[in-house]
Amino acid sequence: MMKNSIIRMHLRHIWSALLLAGFLACIIPAVSALYTFEGIPLEVAAQGEIEGGDLLTFGTYGLSEPPAEVTFTLPSDPAWARIYTAVWGGGTEQYSGWTEISANNIKKTRYTLYGDKDVQENVYSSSHGTYLIASDAGDVLREGKNTVRVTTSRGRRG
């Protein structure tokens, strides 16, 4: 008799634990990374018109050995500026390493690249270890000559 009541009590605890686990599984939101094999569709975060100014773009295109450097001249201090850097990680989703972006040797920002586990806000990882990195630079670019330099680890840990 005592043995049956102990078994019923254990079954009641097991059912309670299972019901609680099921309830929590239903109310806790799923967590996911920003990586997808086919790439991440980019969405418009803001749009509008530039009033009283010009939209200027500068860059180098294609594959090159790091470091990559571009020098350009601005007619005035920018109201807003952003550096976009594409990094090719060797054709694998697991590529990890780092990229360092410097503007006018004033601001150096190093981004660690985590491959398919990357969830950084301004680092977009698409298929096969390809990254697009966005770095704000309005506070370091000035009227006149400016230089942006990008260095990568090329697969080295760091």
What is the model's pLDDT at position 30?
A: 57
Q: Read off the tokens for 22.
A: 């099921």
The pLDDT tens digits for 85-123 are 888 766 666 677 888 999 998 888 888 887 777 777 888
- Which amino acid is it at 54? D
Angle at 84 between CA 78 and CA 90, to 5 degrees: 165
Distance CA 97, CA 125 (A): 13
Nearest to 99 by CA among 91, 81, 87: 87
pTM: 0.61
The pLDDT tens digits for 124-154 are 776 666 788 888 888 899 999 999 998 888 6
Domain boundaries, the chain: 68-152
Is 102 buried (19+), middle (13-18) or exposed (0-12) by CB count in 10 A?
Answer: buried
